[in-house]
Every structure is written in C-alpha cells, then in structure tokens.
Amino acid sequence: MAKPVVPEDRRRRRRPTRSGTVLSEALIVDTALRLLREHGSSGLTARRLGLALDCDPSTLYRYFRGMDDLTLAIGDALVGQALDGWRASGDWRADLRTIGLRMHAVYVAHPQAATLTAYRVTGRAHELAADEAVLHVLRTAGFDLADTVRIYHAFIDQTLAFAALDAASLALPSASQRADEDKWQSTYARLPRTTHPRIAEAAHLLARRMVTSAYPTALEMLLDSAAGRLGEAGTGPAGES
C-alpha cells in the first residue's frame, strides 16, 4: 500500500537536508527535470534523486506517494510553465493558438520529461487551469457546449500528440536524429520519377518541411475548422446569434 503524503504544513517543519537544503515539492520536481535532461527517463530513480538532493530517498515519499505521483507532478509543472504569464486577449483564435504553441514549446524544451508525461492525466492544479482556460475561451467565443467539448478534445489531444511525437524525436541520440533527417536527402530526394513520381516531384519540399514540426500547420487547420463550425452555427461572442 502506498504511504500517505504528508500535509504541506508538516513538511515545512522538517529539518533541512545534510547540505542545508530545505526540501519542497517544487524543488524535487525541478531536480527531477534536471535529471531527466542529463540522464533520460532511466536516470530518474528515487536513489538518484535522493543523491541529487542530498537526502535519504525515503524522504521523497513525504511529498509524493511514489515515482508515478512524481511523474504526474512533473507533467503538471510543464503545463504550469506553458501557462505562466498567459492572459486571454478576447480573440479566441489567437488565444487558443498561443496556448497551443506555448504548451508545445515547453514540452519540446523538455523532451525526456515530455515522453513520460504528455499522455498522462494529472488532475493537478495547472492542468485544471489549462482545461478551464481552453473551455472558457471556446464558450465565450460562442460555441455551444457540445462543440466546445469536441473542439477542446481535438485541441488538447492534437497539442499533446505533436508534443509527444516531436519530443520523442528530440530525445533520440544526436546521431539517430541526424540519420533520420538525412533520409529526406539521401533516400527520398534520389527516388526516380519512374517508380515514385509523386515523391520525386515533392522531394525538394519534403526535404525542407519534414525536418520541422507540423504542429503549427495542424493547429491552424484545426482553428480553421472550428471557425467554420462557428460560422455555420451563426453565433457570435458569448453565444450571441
């Protein structure tokens, strides 16, 4: 059975670690993110984290029920970074675009953490705030409730799916990344028109585009579709007809 997490007020009365560091959930998460950057997902263990924080690994269980609970906190922290400083402008397309691009950027900036967390549901404060923000943007734009949920679902899943895909690529060893990117020049660009006419005619464009993320393009396509839906419904901001 998992140990109960110690309430925040009792954690604060704990003595500092041997090196004088006062532990907190935020410090543990930040340290875990650093270990993921330096060692990858296999390097994130309670033992390694305890060494990095100069504390007994068992101390971590005063803050988290286990390593999976810590993983959820890491995912929520990434969402928090994406939302930090964001404010709704009143332009629903611009607001969703900004949220999506911010989330994608944070995940690809932490690729090892993204591959662990992009597909998880944390139920924590930052994730809840992001969901509330997206739903609010859509409702105040005039979408009915059913369309709001449909678009929210597509928006969130698309953003996280591209974040996971792009992060997984970035988390590869650099030699593997280069080899994958080189395929567009070494293989695709050399295919003859006699056997692969469509690839051959598009090869120069594929070589430029396929080494970048398709997320901005996919996001605009989703927003275009949503705007069309809003136009069909004949509604305006705040649900006005």
Residue 71 lies inside a defined structural domain of this protein = no
The 10s digit of each residue's pLDDT in 6-52 is 555 554 445 566 666 789 999 999 999 999 999 988 889 999 999 99
Claim to verify: residue 196 and residue 225 sit in the same structural domain: no
Q: What percent of the chain has pLDDT over 90?
A: 83
For the residues 61-67, what does the mean pLDDT come to?
93
Claim to verify: residue 140 and residue 223 sit in the same structural domain: yes
Amino acid 19: pLDDT: 65
For the residues 128-157, what does the mean pLDDT come to?
97
Claim to verify: residue 139 and residue 233 sit in the same structural domain: yes
Claim to verify: residue 143 and residue 53 sit in the same structural domain: no
Claim to verify: residue 152 and residue 224 sit in the same structural domain: yes
Distance CA 241, CA 236 (A): 6
Residue 118 DSSP one-character state: T
Amino acid 8: pLDDT: 53
Claim to verify: residue 191 and residue 228 sit in the same structural domain: no
Amino acid 13: pLDDT: 40
Decide if pLDDT at 2 tops 90: no
Residue 45 lies inside a defined structural domain of this protein = yes
Claim to verify: residue 179 and residue 135 sit in the same structural domain: no
Query: Residue 142 sits in a domain of what CATH number?
Result: 1.10.357
Claim to verify: residue 102 and residue 49 sit in the same structural domain: no
Amino acid 14: pLDDT: 57
Task: State residue 5 phi and psi, 5-degree precision.
Answer: -75, 135
Question: For the whole model, what pTM was predicted?
Answer: 0.85
Q: What percent of the chain has pLDDT over 70?
A: 88
Decide if pLDDT at 220 tops 80: yes
Domains of the chain: total = 3
Amino acid 33: pLDDT: 96
Share of the chain residues as helix, strand and coil, in percent rounded to the nearest 5: 70, 0, 30
Query: What's the residue count for the chain?
Result: 241
Claim to verify: residue 199 and residue 224 sit in the same structural domain: no
For the residues 202-219, what does the mean pLDDT come to?
96
Claim to verify: residue 144 and residue 182 sit in the same structural domain: no
Distance CA 161, CA 172 (A): 17
The 10s digit of each residue's pLDDT in 148-185 is 999 999 999 999 999 999 999 999 999 999 999 999 99
Residue 189 lies inside a defined structural domain of this protein = yes
Range of 186's domain? Answer: 173-210
Residue type, 202: A
Residue 39 lies inside a defined structural domain of this protein = yes
Decide if pLDDT at 142 tops 60: yes
Amino acid 41: pLDDT: 85
Residue 31 lies inside a defined structural domain of this protein = yes
Burial 161-196 (b: 16+ CB within 10 A, else e): ebbbbbbebbbeeeeeeeeeeeebeeebeeeeeeee
Q: What is the chain's mean pLDDT, rounded?
A: 90
Is 191 within 8 Å of 200 (Cβ atoms)? yes
Claim to verify: residue 198 and residue 229 sit in the same structural domain: no
